[in-house]
Structure 1
Amino acid sequence: MGSTFYVSADREHAGPWTFTGEQVKDCVRRHWPASTVSGAFENFLEIEAEVEPGQQAELSFNLRHGAFSFEDRAPHSAPLTVIYTVLHELAPQTPVVWWIDYDADLQPLDLAGGQEAFIDSFPG
């Protein structure tokens, strides 16, 4: 079984994100009209979007804890594109961190430098 990556607001420096699950759904559907965003089953939104032809993003958003998660499958750029787009629109000033399920060592992600910098700052 593979690892899972998590992305959330840097709560230590900024507190949690203030956007809602409905705002996440609306944002994803606006940018990728053919995407699917499940209902809030057990406090999770399940998101599937084809961000580029042949590049399918599959990720979750935990409504209770305010964190995105996705499996360690290449390309990481697909789910990170969705996450960047949502955060750029709904929380552009909030610092962002990531971690992997077996290590809670929080690492920053560069939201301010644009989508390419955001994806490049994720070494996973």
Structure 2
Amino acid sequence: MGSTFYVSADREHAGPWTFTGEQVKDCVRRHWPNATVSAAFENFLEIHLEAVPGEWAELSFNLRHGAFSFEDREPHSAPLTVLHTVLRELAPTVPVVWWIDYDADLQPLDLAGSLAAFIDSFPA
């Protein structure tokens, strides 16, 4: 506990994502109308929403570095639901990687499958 997970485009193989913070904000609000998405503050968007009934997701999107982050808190399925939805809509063909703050060992995440498969593939 106390760690942070990061998710970004696999820059080594695909370069950075090309979507903007406004596109992220619009996508989140389209899928979760009651979501709170902050205005950009110090190059971050803060996202807070109820991903499914009773499961809250809190994520940040770093506008400068093009990476999402979320705290290592159960259930991981809540922020992963948001990531799967946003990335499938805004960058469905871009390879995705994740890492944890204390170990920058990039691990792939597969967006091609279902939401359940995406959540199950996250080994944390």
Category of TM-score, reference length = shorter chain: over 0.9
Unaligned runs of 5+ in 1: none
2:66 is matched with 66
Amino acid at match of 2:86: V
What is the CA–CA distance in structure 2 between the aligned matches of 1:91 and 1:114, rounded to whole Å? 15
What is the CA–CA distance in structure 1 between the aligned matches of 2:6 and 2:35, rounded to whole Å? 21
2:107 paired with 1:83: no
Amino acid at match of 1:80: L
1:17 is matched with 17
Q: Give 1:113 shift.
A: 1.2
Local SS of the residue matching 1:98: strand
Q: Deviations over 1:79-105 (max 9, x none)?
A: 010011000000000000000000000
1:29 is matched with 29
Question: Percent identity among equivalent residues?
Answer: 85
What is the CA–CA distance in structure 1 between the aligned matches of 2:70 and 2:36, rounded to whole Å? 15
**Runs of 4+ off more than 3 Å:** none
Q: Give the RMSD, CA atoms, in angstroms.
A: 0.8
Q: Give 1:117 shift.
A: 1.4
Q: Give 1:116 shift.
A: 1.4
Unaligned runs of 5+ in 2: none
2:85 paired with 1:97: no
2:108 paired with 1:108: yes
In the alignment of these two chains, the number of paired residues is 124
2:56 is matched with 56
Q: Give 1:114 shift.
A: 2.1
What is the CA–CA distance in structure 1 between the aligned matches of 2:116 and 2:95, rounded to whole Å? 16
What is the CA–CA distance in structure 1 between the aligned matches of 2:51 and 2:89, rounded to whole Å? 16
Q: Deviations over 1:65-89 (max 9, x none)?
A: 0000000000000001001100000
Amino acid at match of 1:111: L
Amino acid at match of 1:22: E
What is the CA–CA distance in structure 1 between the aligned matches of 2:21 and 2:5, rounded to whole Å? 19
1:47 is matched with 47
What is the CA–CA distance in structure 1 between the aligned matches of 2:115 and 2:16, rounded to whole Å? 21
What is the CA–CA distance in structure 1 between the aligned matches of 2:122 and 2:8, rounded to whole Å? 13
